[in-house]
Amino acid sequence: MTAAIEARNLSKTFGGERRWFGRARPPVCAVREVSFRVAAGETLGIVGESGCGKTTLARMLAGLLPPSGGRISVDGKEPRAGAGPWGGLVQYVFQDPLGALNPRKTIRQIMHAPLRHLLGMDAPAREARVAELFDAVNLHLAFLDRYPHEFSGGQAQRIGIARALAANPRIVVLDEPVSALDVSVQAQVLNLLADLRRAYHLTYLLISHDLAVVEAVSDRVAVLYCGAIVELADAAEVFARARHPYTRLLADSAPVPGRPPAAAAPGELPDAPTRGCAFAARCSRADAACRQRAPEPVYTRKENYVRCFRPLETPR
């Protein structure tokens, strides 16, 4: 079976190139050797703290940013080098719903753009398709002649989702799709996304810092730390039976009503990755080996792995 989307040793380094004058800027490794396969119809959640490379990874997967190393294939095909976005195959839903809509265009112009440029549809066909899409995301057609600033965050995010679906994508990258929305509206959008996934047979890559959102919506979850996947596991188990100490730290830090506040672990994301395991400095289980070499993935089940020399064994 070919995966809907597959990443192999995907890396991205910023900086490092020589400037015209002066020394080279020190390279910053945003994403390091990320590999995963996502089956058609599956939702892969990607969690991590700010600065862990979530958005860089998402932008590479959507073709908005060329990778420095590694490969991405969609439906078993690789894009031409430097070809930019994948036509309509992979679409993107942005974190800031209003920032993703051009303030000087009407919603109609915004909705027609992918239909016109990607599918080459004529005006009547575009109108019909937009009506169909707005129906799918529960928006009123009267909104089409308004400008983005007239909408609330939740409505704007529905428009963003409708636009992402316009070009019949196979894969949708959801970059923190609900974090800018109000709590009561978050659930509406999450449920809408779940319904759309079934209706349009979509594959989702859901990027979020909110563990509860990721756990509730995903089939599998990848935990990102300093640009590398430290654990990839089924959503039902990843936090309940964490194997990587960092995953356990995340799960324990998340506030849960009725549970007393966690004894907070010290430390924060390091500025620059060190030799060996990037988490070693904050890890209570780290030994000399952890500080010497970076751990390789240890496969726990067919596609799932943990990148740790001394994973937690006991289920909680």
Partner 1 sequence: MSGARFAASFAALGALLLRHRLAGLGALVLLVVAALAAAAPLLPLPNPDLTDLANRLQRPGAPGHPLGTDHLGRDLLARLVWGTRLSLAVGVFASLIAALAGSCIGIAAGFFGGRTDNLLMRGIDMLMAFPYILLALAIVAALGPGLLNALYAVAIVNIPFFARSVRGATAAIAHREFVDAARLAGMRNWRIIGGEILPNVAPVITIAMSTTIGWMILETAGLSFLGLGSQPPQADLGSMLGEGRNLLINAPHVSVVPGAMIFVVVVSINLLGDGVRDWLDPRLRAGQLSRPAAVTRIERADAGAAHRPDGALLQVRGLRTRFVSAGARTQYAVNGVDLTVDAGQCLGLIGESGSGKSVTALSLLGLAPSPPAVIGGGRVYLAGEDLLAADFERLRAIRGRRVAYIFQNPMAALHPLMTVGAQLTEAIRCHRRMPRQAALDEALGLLRQVRMPGAAARARQYPHELSGGMRQRVGIALALANAPELVIADEPTTALDVTVQAQILQLLAQLRRERNLALIFVTHDFAVLSQLCDRVAVMYAGRIVESGPTHDILARPAHPYTAGLIRCAPRLGGGRRPAAIPGLPPAADRLPRGCAFAPRCARRREACEAGKVASTRLSAARRVRCLYPLEAA
In sequence order, the 6+-apart residues with CB closer than 8 A to the CB of 160 are: 93, 94, 97, 100, 101
* Per-residue CA distances from 287 to 12, 125, 178, 194 (Å): 29, 63, 39, 43
- Find the part of the chain contacting partner 1 (CB under 8 A) among 24-32, 37-45, 98-106, 293-301: 98-106
Position among 46, 61, 167, 205 found at the interface with partner 1 (CB under 8 A): 167
Crossing angle for the helix pair 183-200 and 153-166, to the nearest 10 degrees:
20
183 or 288, CB closer to partner 1? 183
Shortest approach of partner 1 to residue 165 CB, angstroms?
12
Residue of the chain from 213, 222, 223, 228 that contacts partner 1 (CB under 8 A): 213
CB 230 within 8 A of CB 36: no
- Give helix 123-136 / helix 107-117 axis angle, nearest 10°: 120
| Identity of the residue, 142 or 263, whose beta carbon is nearer to partner 1 in the bound complex | 263
| Piece of 180-188, 272-280, 288-296, 306-314 that binds partner 1 (CB under 8 A) | 180-188
Q: Cα angle at 8 between 11 and 45, to 5 degrees?
A: 85
Distance CA 15, CA 26 (A): 6
Token readout for 10 is 């995907």
Per CB under 8 A, does 81 bind partner 1?
no
Q: Is 209 in the site for partner 1 (CB under 8 A)?
A: yes
Binding of partner 1 at residue 215 (CB under 8 A)? yes
Q: Closest separation between CB of residue 52 and partner 1, Å?
A: 9
Which of 1, 18, 80, 184 is close enough to bind partner 1 by CB under 8 A?
184
**Shortest distance (Å) from residue 309 CB to partner 1:** 21
Task: Restricting to residues 124-163, name those near partner 1 by CB under 8 A.
Answer: 152, 154, 160, 163
Rounded to whole angstroms, the Cα distance separating 303 from 158 reads 33
Binding to partner 1 (CB under 8 A) within 263-292 occurs at 263-266, 268-269
CA–CA distance, 175 with 177 (Å, rounded to integer): 5
Stretch that binds partner 1, among 32-40, 71-79, 233-241, 301-309 (CB under 8 A): 233-241
Which segments of the chain does DSSP mark as H helices, in order?
54-61, 107-117, 123-136, 153-166, 183-200, 211-217, 235-238, 245-253, 288-292
DSSP 206: E
Residue of the chain from 3, 5, 62, 283 that contacts partner 1 (CB under 8 A): 62
DSSP H or E segment with residue 10: strand 5-14
Q: Which is nearer to partner 1, 35 or 165 (CB)?
A: 165
Q: Does 261 bind partner 1 (CB under 8 A)?
A: yes
Our finding on whether 23 is near partner 1 (CB under 8 A) is no
* Binding residues with partner 1: total (CB under 8 A): 74
Q: How far is the CB of 2 from partner 1 (least distance, A)?
A: 23
Among the residue ranges 7-15, 56-64, 129-137, 303-311, the one whose residues contact partner 1 (CB under 8 A): 56-64
Kindly state the tokens that stand for 252.
């324990």
Min dist CB 155 to partner 1, Å, is 8
Q: Quick one: which segment of 26-34, 81-89, 124-132, 299-307 binds partner 1 (CB under 8 A)?
A: 81-89
Q: Write the DSSP assignment of 263-283 as a string of letters.
A: -PPP----SS--SS-TTGGG-
